[in-house]
């Protein structure tokens, strides 16, 4: 059990609510491990690289998603399936964030920390 790798960041929730931050985290970690090319189109990754990337991806998704994509053996295919499933969130989250940004007023908050907290939520 000592060889099991701890999660580097929060796993992708089955609802997809953390999909946008998860995508960024996965891309950064795969780049650091020199495995980013395994999720790009027309890659020439070796079987070992694909296996390492797939293990990493499966380790960072919800158990329900793991079971749903149990038969997927290519990290690119898993990446595309998850993208197809959750990509719509960009169309939902961005307009809401833009609206929240335009409605943000400093005078609506009692403290600067409340304002900063709301501001950082919008930005993220």
pLDDT digits (tens, 9 = 90+) for 55-81: 999 999 999 889 999 999 999 999 999
User: Would you say residue 89 lies in a domain?
Assistant: yes
Residue at 45 is within a domain: yes
6 in any annotated domain: no
User: For residue 2, is it within any domain?
Assistant: no
Evaluate whether 57 touches 26 at the Cβ level (below 8 Å): yes
* Tally of residues, the chain: 124
Residue 62 lies in a domain: yes
Identify the domain containing residue 46 by its residue range: 18-123
Cα separation, 13 vs 48, in Å, equals 27
- pTM of this structure: 0.69
* Confidence at residue 10, expressed as pLDDT on a 0 to 100 scale: 85
Residue 53 lies in a domain: yes
Indicate whether 11 belongs to any domain. no
In sequence order, what are the residues at sequence separation of 6 or more whose Cβ sits closer than 8 angstroms to the Cβ of residue 97?
Answer: 122
Give domain status of residue 33, yes or no: yes
- Which ranges of the chain have pLDDT less than 70? 1-7, 92-93, 122, 124
Q: Taking a C-beta distance cutoff of 8 angstroms, is the pair 33, 56 a contact?
A: yes
Please tell me the total count of domains within the chain. 1
Torsions phi, psi for 12 (to 5 deg) = -65, 125
């Amino acid at each position: 059990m000592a060889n099991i790798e701890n999660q580097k960041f929060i796993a992708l929730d089955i609802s997809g609510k953390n999909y946008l931050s998860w995508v960024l985290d996965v891309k950064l970690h795969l780049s650091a491990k020199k495995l980013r090319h395994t999720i790009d189109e027309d890659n020439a990754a070796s079987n070992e690289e694909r296996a390492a990337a797939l293990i990493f991806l499966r380790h960072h998704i919800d158990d329900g998603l793991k079971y749903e994509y149990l038969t997927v053996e290519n990290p690119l295919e898993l990446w595309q399936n998850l993208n197809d499933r959750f990509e719509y969130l960009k169309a939902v989250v961005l307009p809401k964030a833009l609206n929240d940004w335009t409605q943000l007023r400093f005078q609506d908050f009692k403290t600067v920390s409340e304002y900063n907290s709301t501001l950082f939520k919008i930005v993220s």
